[in-house]
Structure 1
Amino acid sequence: MSAQKGKDLLLKVDSDGAGNFQTVAGLRARTLAFNAATVDITNTESAGQWRELLAGAGVKSARISGNGVFKDAQSDEIVRGYFFGGTQANWQVIVPDFGTVEGPFQVTTLEYAGQHDGEMTFELSLESAGQLNFTAV
């Protein structure tokens, strides 16, 4: 993957449950992180007492975080409603020249901030809440 503009990474949500994804926010900074926990199966017979891991075991998770400005009042309302309702929804993260990650996420952090001479900003975190699918470009 060659160098890409950070602004091209998009965060979208299926707000009507019908597979119609819409961009919800003007994110100025964003991060997509994947994690896979390991299961240690080291025992007294492990060669040289080196750690051994159980292949394919453990919990996989993903986290999306970002900050910016909401693109409109409807976007703000959708995300705020998901946070206060503890709602899980299908989200898409589109990474240019890489692919699309799609699946259920829950809004786990929603922070608002603002300067007296600037716009209102927010910080947002989403945690995966089920199996994610990846579609390569």
Structure 2
Amino acid sequence: MAAQKGKDLLVKIADGAGFVTVAGLRSRQLRFNAETVDVTHAESAGRWRELLGGTGVKRAAVSGSGIFRDEASDALMRQVFFDGAVRDFQVVVPDFGTVEGAFQITALEFAGNHNGEVTYDLALESAGPLAFTAA
């Protein structure tokens, strides 16, 4: 696979008619995590840790930061956060695929310097099973 442009990694939110790109993001990150279940015991070979496969909680987290670019998607993100709603999102990873499922906005932060633009940071946590569609 050839190198991909970071700007092509997109975060999209369901708006009732489909998915719209969360506008103005300058950086984006998608992380997958899985908890482990430790089943190590006194007779574990060489006292090496043993893990129980197929167990533990899986989760995905999305984070990003950017500038305000689109009034409609900005308003939608703010409303979803203040409602504490769980909404469908898509994360499009170029030449890899699309991850889609329910997420909750867990952080929405605003910042600005007196001689610069207002920026925002957001964090999403998965809130159910995710689907992956290969590119």
- Compute the TM-score of the two structures, normalised by the length of structure 2: 0.95
Partner of 1:118: 116
Unmatched runs of 5 consecutive residues or more in structure 2 = none
Aligned residue for 2:104, secondary structure, equals strand
Deviations 1:65-98 (A, max 9, x none): 0000232111111111111111000000000010
Q: Is the 8 A contact 2:29 2:64 kept in 1?
A: yes
Give distance in 1, aligned partners of 2:131 and 2:2: 23
Find the counterpart in structure 1 of residue 13 from structure 2.
Answer: 13
* Counterpart-to-counterpart distance in 2, 1:62 and 1:86: 18
SS in 2 for 1:78: helix
Are the aligned partners of 2:24 and 2:70 in contact in 1 as well (CA < 8 Å)?
no
Q: Which residues in structure 2 correspond to 1:58-137 (within 5 Å)?
A: 58-137=56-135
User: How high is the TM-score relative to the length of structure 1?
Assistant: 0.94
Q: Is the 8 A contact 1:24 1:71 kept in 2?
A: no
CA RMSD, 1 decimal: 1.1
- Provide the C-alpha distance between the structure 2 equivalents of 1:65 and 1:135, rounded to a whole number of angstroms: 20
